[in-house]
Chains A and B, each alone.
Chain A
Amino acid sequence: MTSLKTLLGAASTLALTATIAQADPALMYDLGGKFDKSFNEAAFNGSERWAAETGGSYRDIEISAEAQRVQFARRLAEAGANPVVVLGFANEPTLQEVAPEFPDTSFVLIDAVVDLPNVRSVVFAEEQGSYLVGMLAAMATETDTISFVGGMEIPLITAFACGYAQGAKAVNPDINVIVNYTGSTPSAWNDPVRGSEIAQSQFSQGSDIVFAAAGGTGLGVLQAAEDAGLLSIGVDSNQNHLHPASVLTSMLKLVDQAVFDAFSDGPGLETGVVRMDLASGGVGYALDEHNADLITDEMQAAVEDAKAAIIAGELSVHDYRTDSTCPAF
């Protein structure tokens, strides 16, 4: 019986190594899919950039069920992929289970922390980037009312909202910040129509700038703002070009850079926690030719001052995730 098992195991390993060249990196997307115009797609862009620059090849996989998280991570590692990059905080338990089984494989987890010797955990200081765009919104608003559209009401997204509100209130303590979430199921990340409806209802409550942190849903929010002749703020990637002169700025969260770095470092990459914040350039706000007319020199100076203060540690932005409270709500 045992010999049969060994034989079967050997056969399957052979079959798998035929499909993946040894030590190609691999990328596993989170639920929501590869082309979500946001988090997952940023990772895809990072890996494509790596492939274009190095000529290397990689394998990527989309999951469609919870049970596939562990399944796919294990299968990729078994097949010799190295490093294996997995996206999303929901994969924290995945790596806690799979990473110890493959001590010679390097894993990279994005958006959560797993403390294992072969895991690099990349976390972003979303609250810092959101703080800066919140300041910009508060300086640009004419109605003293700004708004936020989140995907689902989960700590990660509330951290965006909380940073945004803190930044806005730092500029104008009396500002009104409307916060809404799209839904309670994963489809909330990909519902532009609903995003547009929520944005319009916020506009009717007096908001003239809306910040969307809702994946594909945000595209509807940005569109609604342009249609209404108002301003919006993009998220994750630089979305300024989507609606020039209507997107005030974008809160950058450089997931693509994290994936690019992981692929470039290759097998045996340095593990531990990598914090992508303002100081390391992992988060920030986008300024380019598409929004140059919207951001005055005065606004930019104020935001740059705050940015320098945050990097220097003189100004601390509260992270909602540490204690589930927000001083600005």
Chain B
Amino acid sequence: MSAPKKLPHWADVTLVPLASVALAFVISGILIWAIGENPWNAVKLMVEGAFGSSYGWGYTLYYATNFIFTGLAVAVAFQARLFNIGGEGQAAMAGLGVALVCLYIPWPHWSLALLGASLGAAFFGAAWAFIPAWLQARRGSHIVITTIMFNFIAASVLGYFLVNVLRPQGTMDPASARFPADIRLPRLHEMLEPFGIPFSTSTPANIALFLALAMCFAVWFMLWRTRLGYQIRTFGESQTAAEYAGISPVKITVYTMLISGGLAGLMAVNSVMGEQQRLVLNAVEGAGFIGIAVALMGRNHPFGVFLAAILFGFLYQGGAELALWTNIPRELIVVIQALVILFTGALDNMVRMPLTRLFAMWGTR
């Protein structure tokens, strides 16, 4: 009997996630059927709602943009085997950075404001990741614990700033004032108009989408084409080997987390500056945690993160349409999203093992 062969690489990166998603959808379908709704109609409604019109695309891409940033953040950290689950807090603090940059600096043009806001977001996000990184590198405090604790601290700091500093006098909402209208980021429909492509005018997808795509490329380049990326990956594969090769674990831990925090922070450019145009208390709305699922599903590769982000964008927007036009409760939509996470993340081997055996059988024939 031969030892179980390894799955071919192409099958590992395509078939395994696809089969996982398919399984998740089958179980979701059974659930929808069990509560007395038609699963086929539900899927149709979700797909049409997310991809069937430029309106659907606009929202799907808006959510996907958020998830690309937070997914990349988790993926980069994971290359060094650091589990950054503080994307939520880093993005929340970055929102504060974006708000300060947009409210207190009179920008002459939106493009400069975008640059400034991106730097502000990345700086605040990275700064928020720095303390857990330093504690991990110098004190050995486990980064999973510290980053998740920093999520709560970030929420409280943000609450304080919104209620006591940024909230305009006399308003009820713990939110900042609206950013000046002339630094409003161009939305997708405005960008497509010169090319004669009609696009729904009421969607929040904006230029930050292209910033996210650029970041996908930049992260790929950094990880696989630079010395720092090599050091990060070496450190992730084997810390002792990396140290033996002269790579400082303290330096790599801190650098990786700074990059990770900065990427998570850039999400705020999309949600705070691109969509809300003011800072609200709940601007991150769970994208930091979705980023973990996105990175897991995307195999910690920027291209995989991009695809997984689109999938989760679809689940968010399709789920919203489902909630709008059917009696399927909101909770079931969360269940569907959770099933996808469960199958692609936690139950990965359940799909991989039979597939490996299948390939082994096929290979011996």
Contact = CB atoms under 8 A, between A and B. Distances in A.
Contacts of A318: none
Contact of A12 (B55, B172, B198, B324): B55
Contacts, number: 95
Contacts of A16: 325
Interface stretch (A42-50, A147-155, A254-262): A147-155
A307 B59 CA distance: 50
Contacts of B53: 8, 12
Contacts of B155: 184-185
A61 B323 contact: yes
Among A66, A90, A155, the most chain B Cβ lie within 10 Å of the Cβ of: A66
Contact of B275 (A62, A64, A67, A112): A67
A66 B282 CA distance: 7
Interface string B236-274: 000000000000000000000000000000000001000
A272 interface: no
Contacts of A4: 198
Among B53, B204, B282, B320, the most chain A Cβ lie within 10 Å of the Cβ of: B320
A1 interface: yes
Among A4, A12, A71, the most chain B Cβ lie within 10 Å of the Cβ of: A71
A27 B156 CA distance: 31
A245 interface: no
Interface in B281-305: 281-283, 285-286
Given A185-B155, A186-B282, A156 B172 contact: yes
Number of chain A interface residues as a range: 35 or more
A90 B280 contact: yes
A152 B276 contact: no
Interface in A1-52: 1-2, 4-5, 8, 12, 16, 19, 31, 33
B110 to A, nearest CB: 19
DSSP majority for the A interface?
A: helix
A321 B280 contact: no
A61 B280 CA distance: 21
Interface in A62-100: 62, 64-68, 70-72, 74-76, 89-90, 92-93
A155 B159 contact: no
B202 interface: yes
Contacts of B204: 67
B198 A154 contact: no
A324 interface: yes
Interface string A304-320: 00000000000000000
A71 B204 CA distance: 9
B363 interface: no
A16 B55 CA distance: 14
Contact of B159 (A66, A75, A152): A152
A322 interface: yes
B202 to A, nearest CB: 6
Interface string B174-204: 1100100000000000000000111000101
B159 A321 contact: no
B330 A1 contact: no
Contacts of A112: 172-173
Contacts of B323: 61-62, 64
Given A31-B282, A154-B172, A322-B170, 8 more contacts: A1-B196, A64-B320, A70-B202, A71-B320, A90-B175, A92-B173, A185-B152, A185-B155
27 contacts: A1-B198, A16-B325, A61-B323, A62-B330, A64-B323, A64-B330, A65-B285, A67-B62, A67-B275, A70-B202, A71-B59, A92-B173, A112-B173, A152-B281, A155-B172, A155-B174, A156-B172, A184-B156, A184-B158, A184-B159, A184-B160, A185-B159, A185-B281, A186-B281, A321-B170, A321-B172, A322-B170
